[in-house]
Amino acid sequence: MIGSATGNGAPTVPAPPAVPFADAKFSFAPVTGAPASILNNLSAQLGREAFAQHVTLVPAGDPTATYVVKGYLSAVGDSSGTILVYVWDIFDTSGRRVHRISGQETSSTGSQDPWGGVTQDTTINVARRTIGGIVGWGTAPAGSGSS
């Protein structure tokens, strides 16, 4: 379960999609935390994966977007390998967070600069898991409480 605590200390439950998934449009806000080269690669991979999994994307700032996806990336590692950590928050048109997708992807490529160890395969896997998470949330039966 994800979400923040409510005033009485109970965790919040992610909301099911308010719009039928087939009609939903997703806009990715600029992602924070990573160098431009990684972001460009990941953006291209997200677009390919969205197309493959039938997720409708619209440009950032598009007023027709049903949901805005905000992403945060960080990389940690050393000469033996790299871990790319990702968090994607999905917001509805009122600005309320309705879902979170998070995870990490490990690369055996290491570098003194952790971003140097993030490979094409790493970004492909993050894109696949991210779009898969959107699809899983968007097509989950109402009341399933999946996150």
The CATH classification of domain 21-138, taken from the options 3.40.630.20, 3.50.50.60, 3.40.50.10610, 3.30.450.20: 3.40.50.10610
* Predicted confidence (pLDDT) per residue in 4-43, tens digit: 333 444 445 566 778 888 899 999 999 999 999 999 999 9
- Report CA-CA distances (Å) from 33 to 2, 40, 55, 66, 68: 22, 13, 24, 25, 18
Cα dihedral: 32, 34, 37, 43 (round 10): -50
Nearest to 42 by CA among 82, 78, 88: 88
* Predicted confidence (pLDDT) per residue in 38-95, tens digit: 999 999 999 999 999 999 999 999 999 999 999 999 999 877 889 999 999 999 999 9
Give the tokens for residue 74. 């960080």
pLDDT score of 66:
96
The helix/strand/coil state of 34 is coil
pLDDT score of 84:
95
C-alpha to C-alpha distance for 62 and 27, rounded to whole angstroms: 7
C-alpha to C-alpha distance for 68 and 63, rounded to whole angstroms: 10
Q: The dihedral of CA 9, 94, 16, 18: what is its sign?
A: positive
The pTM score is: 0.84
